[in-house]
């Protein structure tokens, strides 16, 4: 597809916008989220991540799937009888073993970042000046909708390309609808922390168009772009870079799917509160669904 035909929000919310589709999360969206809370049951959408010791030499710092490791840990020795025990963590934010949010500065388009800011102005050797992940550190509170593409604990075939029609079918099964400003949560039943040459299903451009037409403010998924890749990358080079749609990658959604099935409800309040670390291309997150 020609770049001119790809969907884009560049200029929609101004030349200096840093929120992208999160601009759609207005008071009405937050009110819809609040209306979903009935029992206050909560479920994490983050996968557990196990740090690799940096100093012991007993574990590799990576593997073909995780180079470098998602989190490297150093235990800080404080003496034989410490008053406190501390550690330091080296986080590789965009690792597939770590649930994280991609900031709009993560992926450039022809040396420009959403919504048309020169890459050289936005990203410097000492941090990000435009489109950093900390722009959402006030938190995201909106309604989430689970689209389970492989219900009953199943998983998609490795070569499956998720289309807009697939999302329509999952929405019909959920018996609900997506409103502008909602977060769309997509479960393919996949573990994406695997060697990059292993096939993994992912969304195609028609699915990105579906997200755009439905006014999705945020994408959360255990799948994203397929492997081997096809270009442009639908989720990273189109949804994130052109639409300004933040992506929560490497989510863990099996517990959420079980909760939704048990409650027979596929809508919920979604809360994401990233740490306030400035100038970053992404941040680890623990999205919480509240029913």
Residue 114, pLDDT score = 98
Phi, psi of 102, rounded to the nearest 5 degrees = -85, 125
Q: Please give the domain boundaries of the chain with CATH numbers for all domains.
A: 10-47+103-290 (3.50.30), 52-91 (no CATH)
Tens digit of each residue's pLDDT, the chain (291 residues): 557 789 999 999 999 999 999 999 999 999 999 999 999 999 999 999 998 887 654 455 455 444 568 888 888 877 788 888 888 888 999 999 999 999 999 999 999 999 999 999 999 999 999 999 999 999 999 999 999 999 999 999 999 999 999 999 999 999 999 999 999 999 999 999 988 889 999 999 999 999 999 999 999 999 999 999 999 999 999 999 999 999 999 999 999 999 999 999 999 999 999 999 999 999 999 999 999
- Cα(272)–Cα(270) distance, integer angstroms: 7
Specify which residues 34 forms β-bridges with: none
The DSSP line for the chain is --GGGS---TBTTBTT--SGGGGG--HHHHHHHHHT-SS--EEE-BPP--PEESSSSSS-S--SSSSS-SEEEEEE---SS-S--EEEEEE-TT-TTS-EEE-GGGS-BTTEETTTEEHHHHEETTEESSS-GGGGTT-EEEEEEEEESSTTT----TT-EE-HHHHHHHHHHHT----TTPEEEEE------S-TTS-B-EE-HHHHHHHHHTT-SEEEES--S-BS--SS-IIIIIIITTT---EEESB--HHHHHHHHHHT--EEEEEE------S-SEEE---EEE-
Contact (Cβ atoms closer than 8 angstroms) between residue 291 and residue 268: yes
Q: Is the peptide bond before 144 cis (omega within 30 degrees of 0)?
A: no
Our CA angle for 140, 66, 136, nearest 5°, is: 15
Residue 47, pLDDT score = 97
Q: Considering the entire predicted model, what is its pTM? A: 0.94
């Amino acid at each position: 597809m020609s770049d001119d035909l790809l969907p884009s929000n560049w200029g929609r919310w101004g030349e200096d916008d840093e929120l992208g589709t999160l601009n759609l999360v207005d008071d009405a969206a937050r009110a819809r989220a609040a209306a979903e809370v009935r029992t206050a049951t909560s479920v994490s959408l983050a996968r557990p991540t196990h740090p690799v010791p940096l100093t012991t030499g007993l574990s590799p710092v990576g593997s073909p799937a995780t180079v470098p490791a998602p989190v490297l840990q150093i235990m800080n020795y404080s003496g034989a009888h410490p008053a406190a025990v501390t550690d330091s963590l080296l986080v590789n934010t965009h690792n597939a073993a770590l649930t994280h949010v991609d900031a709009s500065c993560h992926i450039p388009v022809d040396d420009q970042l959403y919504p048309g800011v020169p890459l050289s102005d936005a990203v410097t050797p000492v941090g990000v000046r435009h489109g950093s992940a900390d722009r959402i550190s006030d938190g995201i509170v909106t309604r989430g909708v689970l689209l389970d593409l492989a219900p009953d604990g199943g998983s998609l075939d490795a070569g499956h390309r998720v289309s807009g029609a697939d999302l329509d079918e999952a929405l019909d099964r959920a018996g609900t609808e997506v409103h502008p400003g909602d977060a769309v949560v997509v479960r393919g039943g996949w573990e994406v922390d695997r060697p990059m040459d292993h096939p993994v299903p992912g969304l195609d451009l028609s699915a990105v168009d579906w997200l755009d037409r439905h006014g999705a403010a945020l994408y959360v998924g255990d799948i994203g772009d397929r492997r081997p890749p096809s270009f442009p990358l639908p989720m990273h080079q189109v949804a994130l870079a052109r639409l300004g749609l933040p992506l929560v990658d490497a989510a863990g959604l099996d517990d959420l799917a079980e909760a939704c099935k048990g409650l027979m409800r596929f809508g919920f309040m979604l809360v994401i509160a990233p740490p306030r670390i400035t100038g970053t291309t992404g941040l680890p997150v623990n999205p919480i669904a509240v029913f």
